Structure 1
Amino acid sequence: MKCAKCGKKIGPLSKRIVTKDNKYLDEECYSKVFKNVGIKSLTNTKIRYTFDDFNKLLDQAEKVNFDEDKETINQTKEKFRNHDALLFDRLSFDPVDKEIMQPKTLTKPFEVIPYSDIVGYTPIERGHSKNKKHGITRAVVGGALAGGVGSIVGATTGGKQFDYTDKLGVNIALKDGNFLEAYFIKQETKQGMMVKAAYDNFYRICSLLDGIIAENGHETSQKVEMTNPNDNLAKQIRDLKELVDDEIITQEEFEAKKKQLLEA
């Protein structure tokens, strides 16, 4: 890898930070802007600034504390509470200002993302019975499958086909190529009240994301789908066939949906 600012090669053990838009900065360059970086620079911790932000800060010739502004973070958290934000795993959804708050983790910075940055999401549902493994991973890109495969999965699974649910959640795709994650089950969990509560949250966040994607408009959906429409269609059909193989939908339902997709 190379420093986006000076072009010098950055060794695998060299100090570095990563900008919000995935640009690497070596210690010589980032130290001109950020102070109190410390040992964090030994990892690939992503900062909340883009590369353009870094250049603007560099022009100001005034160093910025690398740590997050705690006062600003607290004010943001208070605003989300006052707006009765919906909490899914670690993500908070503000229905008033239409923003998502992602808390700081070991690998991600504190960040507030507008709903308009969402371009799609992938529901993740994996489980197994005593001897048979099942896995459902459906991409809902730009709302393209809303009311299609997504609704079939939501209407017919719900963990009822599994003795155990192994993983349940969503990966949310953003315009800049990054992802947000919300997981309600992360390890083998036997069917019961805990799984039921997880599925309640799973369906709620999927419905919320469907609405956000629809609000973002046809232009966003079309832009994502046009990247490779033939591959996308083939994948949807393969996904449907997997549902048939797992006995989640019938052959008749598969043929009807396949015909609908081919005629679209």
Structure 2
Amino acid sequence: MTDTLSFDQFTPDHLDGALHLSREAGWPHRREDWQFVLRLSRGVVALSGGKVVGTALATPFGAVAMANMIIVDRAMRGRGLGRSLMQRAMALVEAPEWRLVATADGLPLYEKLGFVACGRVLQHQGPVAAQAAPDGVEWAVQADLPALVALDRQATGADRADLIAELMAEGRLAVIREGGALAGFVALRRFGRGEVAGPVIAAGPDEAQRLLGFVFAQREGAFLRVDTTEAAGLAPWLAAQGLAAAGGGIAMRRGTPAAPETSPLQCFALAAQALG
């Protein structure tokens, strides 16, 4: 590390520098995508001569926190900067359980920090094939927000009320209603090269496919991304809808897992790899 290296709180003033780093790394994020995560998070930047050379964010979700947006300038790698950024960002949030999605390159660092692999995240993206909208799915309304937050908490064990509110403000959510109650939902918002569909909260794969099918029917030909999990079993179906496999990551956890609520609901697709 150089003598000019310093650390500072990640603020909106650092977004342009962070965007430069992510573009160099080949990430699809727009400035707005960084801003979306930053609004929900606390973080740290590393500065060298006033230039942003590293970032790390920590997003609190009640008993769960996500470590994310961890990136170091190529010229600064191999000096322990990633570890220092991670530790500083995680010190800003108290949570018994930490989660993240790792790249293969980042895996050794996260393992050294006590994270353990717990599954695979599969990225699918591409132009959506034409299809008919399934029955029983409709767009959510603002009054659905408390029920959406409750469904998400049951499926993830995290309190993501702020995230769900942001998703409603930034995009649209579609829901399955059964007997007047909500039984699942999917969010759709702008991201990267096009749009991202997620999270998908549902009781089973059939319901998850109905929710995604509803969104796909509205966006024929549009470039969409879905980050699912290997355990969810949706990958072959997503590929059949025109969303080809495009890499992914390793889901990791550290600490005491949040006690799951008794519920059949599962998370079949992520809001983002940064946010779970």
Same fold (TM over 0.5): no
TM-score of the two chains, using structure 1 as the length reference: 0.21
State the structure with bigger RCO (CA 8 A, min sep 6), 1 or 2.
2
TM-score of the two chains, using structure 2 as the length reference: 0.21
Q: Relative to total residues, which structure has the larger helix share, 1 or 2?
A: 1
Q: Relative to total residues, which structure has the larger strand share, 1 or 2?
A: 2
Higher Cα Rg, which structure: 1
